[in-house]
Chain A
Amino acid sequence: MSGAEKIQVKVTEITPLNELVTRFRFERVDGRQLPTFSGGAHTVVEMQDGGITRLNPYSLMSDPFDQSSYTISVRRDDQGRGGSLFMHRQVKLGDEMTISYPVNLFSLDLRARKHLFLAGGIGITPFLAQIKQLELLHGHWELHYACRNQALASYADQLTDRHPNATHLYYDDQSQVIDLENLLSGQPLGTHVYVCGPKGMIDWVRNTAAAEGWPEDCVHYEEFLAPQPGKPFEVRLASSEKVIHVGENESLLEAIEREGVDAPYLCRGGACGQCETVVLDHDGNFVHRDHWLTDEEKAAGKKIMPCVSRFEGKSLVLDR
């Protein structure tokens, strides 16, 4: 079976935080301890939604050293494909679910002398675990957290209460904006910046840091892409000798899995590179949406990341 190893868990706590965000606590069904993880790690949650198996990654926000339970916070996305709606509407206290072992694509660089965290909205979750990890290691960190308004600022009270000097909040509805240029240029040498939030915010931080001469290796970001719907298309899987149909509302990876073909994956969000698949032949255009392939690779049309990317055209043959 592909993906990280699986763990059977029970939902032991469901806590609505505000209009959009709900927190879920998972404990192992067999009563044993969960693995420790490192701040920034995520778990892939399996959801049996009618006939569809949804696999969505969520950042672990609990204490990385607390092996009794994991917690995640899920923001309801009414326009999304349904994973967050399933979590909000279908999941009940005591339900058994399958989650993956933690996988970290957004880990702290512990060579840093200071960690600067920039969060936008629900992008706060990986930082909650990283802050707990750094507090234990006596690390030096600072958080700048931008949200739509005070009511939607999940965990802002807790953060300002525990870390009043390290937490800085910005509310859109009060026209408060992170003074990014000065914030970045004033950081001591050896600072690493981490950004998690909407795409626009990630681009803004990466571009500003690059313009100010920050080394690329000091700028970390995490953006999970959800697969976008698109026109249905047909794919031939050469090694499995199958022709499959990818529907409008499923990803290429999901269609491959539906047909019983075991394909590698980890993040399912275009970031980790695990699902990279060789294209044997194609007649049409790729809709590359991942962060993994380089622009040259995307243009060459020899590889595709089936978790988020699609295809439009006559025929596509994959080595899978």
Chain B
Amino acid sequence: MSKFEFPKSIASRPIWGTLEVRSGEHHLMIAEAEGAEAVIDIATPDLMAKTHLIYIPKGTDFSERLQALNPAQFYESPSYAAALHRIRRVLEDAHMGLQVYLTGTEGMMGQAMNEVVAVGLPHTAIQTEHRGSVARRMQCVHCKGVTEDVEVDPFVCSHCGLNLFVRDHYSRRLAAYQGVRVDAEDHGNVPEPKGIYE
């Protein structure tokens, strides 16, 4: 099951949507891992004939099923970073009316959303749907380094090595949640890590 119901939280926490088909002559879909299922759920021959689909497998294998939908363009990218140049080029050449669909992890959707906002589309116009891993992209508030795909709380900052508490405070600009030293007052007193939603 690729869907997960996030528990209710503070206002800072993003709320992801459910993809729906919108009218428009051009569509850009970025699907990461199980996000492919969200694309399959809304795909129609008419929609896919106008769609540029970028798929980032991240260990999943939806490639054949996605290609069978006959998108106007299909690109399989080994990582989000590798897809970035293509995403920027597509946005640079696009015209108003382009519909953007992002689906996969929170980290990918947040980063891709920033790319779309940077070319002037309001964030409210971008469709999102969370699928697959609930891991978070975290920024360490102390060293500012970003650690990708964090699944446990607390975790060790991949840059400065501090033990960080996973907070629900989210930065749209950084596309990351905030990680704060968990043992700041009492060094070495670090709780046993467990899953973020456990």
Contact = CB atoms under 8 A, between A and B. Distances in A.
Contacts of B122: 109, 111, 215, 217-218
B119 A113 contact: yes
A136 interface: no
B120 interface: yes
A212 B125 contact: no
19 contacts: A185-B95, A185-B97, A187-B95, A188-B94, A189-B94, A189-B95, A189-B120, A190-B96, A190-B120, A191-B96, A212-B23, A212-B24, A212-B25, A212-B96, A213-B25, A214-B97, A217-B125, A218-B96, A218-B125
A190 B116 CA distance: 9
Nearest to B122: A217
Interface string B109-136: 0000000010111101100000000000
> Residue among B91, B98, B121 with the most chain A CB within 10 A?
B121
Q: Which 7 A-B pairs have the closest CB atoms?
A: A190-B120, A213-B24, A215-B125, A113-B120, A213-B97, A217-B122, A187-B96
Contact of B121 (A114, A184, A186, A190): A190
Given A111-B120, A214-B96, A215-B125, A189 B22 contact: no
A52 interface: no
B100 to A, nearest CB: 9
A112 interface: yes
Interface of B: 22-25, 91-92, 94-99, 117, 119-122, 124-125
Contacts, number: 64
A184 B120 contact: no
A111 B125 CA distance: 13
Q: Chain A, interface size: which category?
A: 20 to 34
Nearest to A187: B96
A87 to B, nearest CB: 38
Q: Is the interface of B mostly helix, strand, loop or mixed?
A: loop
A189 B24 contact: no
A191 B120 contact: yes
Contacts of B96: 184-185, 187-191, 212-214, 218
Contacts of A113: 119-120
A109 B123 CA distance: 13
Given A184-B96, A185-B96, A213 B23 contact: yes
A137 interface: no
A191 B97 CA distance: 10
A211 interface: yes
Interface in A88-118: 109, 111-114
> Residue among A112, A189, A212, A217 with the most chain B CB within 10 A?
A189
A180 to B, nearest CB: 13
A54 to B, nearest CB: 38
A216 B117 CA distance: 15
Contacts of B125: 215-218
Contact of A189 (B23, B25, B121): B121
B141 to A, nearest CB: 27
Interface in A155-196: 184-192
Contacts of A189: 91-92, 94-96, 98, 119-121
